[in-house]
Structure 1
Amino acid sequence: MDSVTQAALGAAVAGVVAGKHCSPKVLLAGAALGTLPDMDVFIHYGDPVSDMVKHRGFSHSIFVLLPFSWLLALAWQRIKPTSFTFMHLWLLIAACLLTHPILDSFTSYGTQLLWPLSASIAVSSIFIIDPLYTVPLLLMVIASLLWRSKGAKLCGIGLGISSLYLAWSVSALSMIENRVEQQLVGTELEGKPVFIAPTPLNTVLWRVVVLGEDTYWEGLSSLLDKNPTIDFIAKERGEWPLADKPDHLQMLEAFTDDFVKYQQIDGTLTATDLRLGMVDYLPFGFRFAQQQADNSWQFMLPTTIEQPNVRIKHVPALWLRLLGNQAIDANLCHQAECPKNQTS
């Protein structure tokens, strides 16, 4: 999730755990602790694919954060003693740190909660920025600064509302999963890998991707649709043309569960993550090989493909689609890539 959300979550958690000791300083410390795991973005692993795959790695692992929180509590007590007992202080620090990756695991990106184990958790029920999750936390944290005697209670209310919304997002995802499963039964798409994620800033309109060998199908489904049938549009996925794959490409494929699109662009072989983004904006694309003068291919250290800016013109259409207007589905796809080949 975004830094504002994580700071608000950390502050609210700190306020609740602090109880009668809740104060502006405690809320500020909680906000700082809530954003601390994301400091790994300043670590450069040598190339953009490694940076992407290893983000939310060790700094988001419960096996790292638990002992780190213990050491941080020890150091805190020695440097600046507080009215907290050691166990209370450790609980506060651990709660602020651990709720960060737990919330991240509900997004689509993938969070390595069990690092160094290779499992990456992505519930994919909430977008990385969702005001309906963040605003209650922010309002209650601000209110707790104004009414300090009720700080812990107010933080608890904000945390409760946001937690209910998070639970709702999982329920909404389940409804869309059931809708997709029922539609694909008996079709050519039955049994193929499916990826479902919320569209930006909401949990009502969902993007659905079905993965084939050299084709993938993309569609939108809103909980407000009167007709539950999803109009899937076939898009070219491409294939890797070489017998060998560079290690970084294999790393990307593993990270995305093979939801990757392959293209040849300007004399380079590229691969793009199909999970993150929508419409004609897929932000995580990389070059892996360069064509030589003799038409052979030379593997290269991955570089990022520059992506076009998000098109503002899509925003009104997305809002109408969220409200259940299924007639505009085709207009939300890039016409060069989305022939009207619909599979029901």
Structure 2
Amino acid sequence: MDSLSQIALGAAVGVAVMGRRTAAWKAVLWGGIAGTLPDLDVFIDHGDALRNMTMHRGFSHALFWLTLASPVLAAAPAALHRQREHFARWWLAIWLALVTHPLLDAMTVYGTQLLLPFTDHPFGVGSVFIIDPLYTLPLLAGLAVVLARRDARGLRWNHAGLLLSTAYLAWSVGAQWHVRGVAQQALAATGARDVPLLVTPTPFNTVLWRVVAMHPDGSYDEGFYSLLDGGRPLRLRRFEGTVPERAGLARLEPVQRLARFTHGFYTVHVRRNHAWVTDLRMGQEPHYAFAFVVARADGARWVPLVPRNQGSRGDVRAALGWLWQRLQGEDVPPPGWSAAEAGVQRLPSAVTDVTDRVSPSSSTSR
């Protein structure tokens, strides 16, 4: 999640644990610091852009290492504020502020390596976008009251903010499950059963969802479903892609790394004698946050390159305008789809429509 959300969560947890044992501002300060500490790993250079991307949310987000660090970090507020008698409470507050950071990150699609050093598996529920005001605002409201009132009623507001934000996460999982059912029925109607399926919210909300389905030939479908669509069928569009084996890129370490980190939701393409790998989870056609140039052609062989990120955002204003319309259930095509048909950006010119004729409302029987 974004830094503001992590600071707010850490501060709210600190206040909840410390209660009236210390001044509210102290609990807010130290909880906020602990809540944002894991993200300092962004300043570590792992050698290239792709490794930096896949190794972010690594050891600094591991529950094991954060647990070991928590008593050392808790000693600072206990000593500075001369509250050694409350060291156990500070320890609990700092530990919870630390571990709730990666647990919240794991609710996004990015990939958080919670269980290092035992496994580097990147966990990602993908039910919330990295910035979602409906998650963050209850936390900020509760903290504002705590700092303004500094009494028991302020603490209750803080508890309420934590409860509402947690309930919102639970709602996001339920909404994601519903949309997944809609998408599975849409794909089944086209004969595509049991294909890898990604369902994630579009920016800043949990009403409009993006669906990506991967096919064995390297192609993939993209579609959008709003909870306000009112029973309109889910429409998917097919985009061509290349499997790394077919392109002769399967042995390249960056390709293998991204394939594992994205759980297979990536694509390979070749343009102007250069090979690219693109993370299909973050963005939408034809613009993605992470698209790496990894090799160049030299006759019949590929020469590895130091991966560099060539991701793009596109026209943000146009995308936000479409997002607001589509979120409300209006049947408007994404800006990227028309661009794809025109062969703009990295997409091949061949685009196939796959339109579902199964009513989304039928998924409620699942």
Q: Are positions 1:56 and 2:57 aligned together?
A: yes
Q: Deviations over 1:306-331 (max 9, x none)?
A: 525443112222211111112x1355
- TM-score, normalised relative to structure 2: 0.88
CA contact (8 A) 2:239 2:352 kept: no
1:172-251 mapped onto 2 (5 Å cutoff):
172-212=175-215, 213-240=217-244, 241-242=247-248, 244-251=250-257
CA contact (8 A) 1:231 1:329 kept: no
Report the secondary structure of 1:206's partner residue.
strand
CA contact (8 A) 2:288 2:311 kept: no
Residues 158 and 304 (structure 1), Cα distance of their counterparts in 2 relative to 1, 3 Å cut = same
1:191-340 mapped onto 2 (5 Å cutoff):
191-212=194-215, 213-240=217-244, 241-242=247-248, 244-292=250-298, 294=299, 296-326=301-331, 328-329=332-333, 331-333=335-337, 334=339, 335=341, 336=343, 337=347, 339=351
Offset at 1:70? Answer: 1.7
- TM-score, normalised relative to structure 1: 0.94
Distance across 1 between alignment mates of 2:144 and 2:79: 30
Distance across 2 between alignment mates of 1:78 and 1:31: 18
Residues 84 and 134 (structure 1), Cα distance of their counterparts in 2 relative to 1, 3 Å cut = farther
Distance across 1 between alignment mates of 2:287 and 2:136: 25
Large movers: runs of 4+ above 4 Å: none
CA contact (8 A) 1:189 1:210 kept: no
Offset at 1:160? Answer: 1.1
Residues 186 and 314 (structure 1), Cα distance of their counterparts in 2 relative to 1, 3 Å cut = closer
Q: What is the aligned residue count?
A: 342
Report the secondary structure of 1:195's partner residue.
strand
Q: Deviations over 1:209-228 (max 9, x none)?
A: 00012210000011111125
Distance across 1 between alignment mates of 2:88 and 2:334: 57
Distance across 2 between alignment mates of 1:279 and 1:185: 23
Q: Deviations over 1:91-134 (max 9, x none)?
A: 01001111111110100001111112122211110000000111
Offset at 1:302? Answer: 1.2
Consecutive unaligned residues of structure 2, counting only runs of 5 or more, are: 357-366
Residues 93 and 266 (structure 1), Cα distance of their counterparts in 2 relative to 1, 3 Å cut = same
CA contact (8 A) 1:267 1:291 kept: yes
CA contact (8 A) 1:12 1:30 kept: yes
Residues 262 and 161 (structure 1), Cα distance of their counterparts in 2 relative to 1, 3 Å cut = same
Residues 178 and 254 (structure 1), Cα distance of their counterparts in 2 relative to 1, 3 Å cut = same
Offset at 1:174? Answer: 1.0
1:132 corresponds to which of 131, 134, 141: 134
For 1:342, the aligned partner's letter is: V
Distance across 1 between alignment mates of 2:311 and 2:329: 33
Offset at 1:266? Answer: 2.9
For 2:42, the aligned partner's letter is: V
What is the identity percentage for the equivalent residue pairs of Structure 1 and Structure 2? 37
- CA-atom RMSD in angstroms: 1.9
Q: Deviations over 1:57-80 (max 9, x none)?
A: 111111011111022224554555
Residues 340 and 331 (structure 1), Cα distance of their counterparts in 2 relative to 1, 3 Å cut = farther
Distance across 2 between alignment mates of 1:330 and 1:144: 43
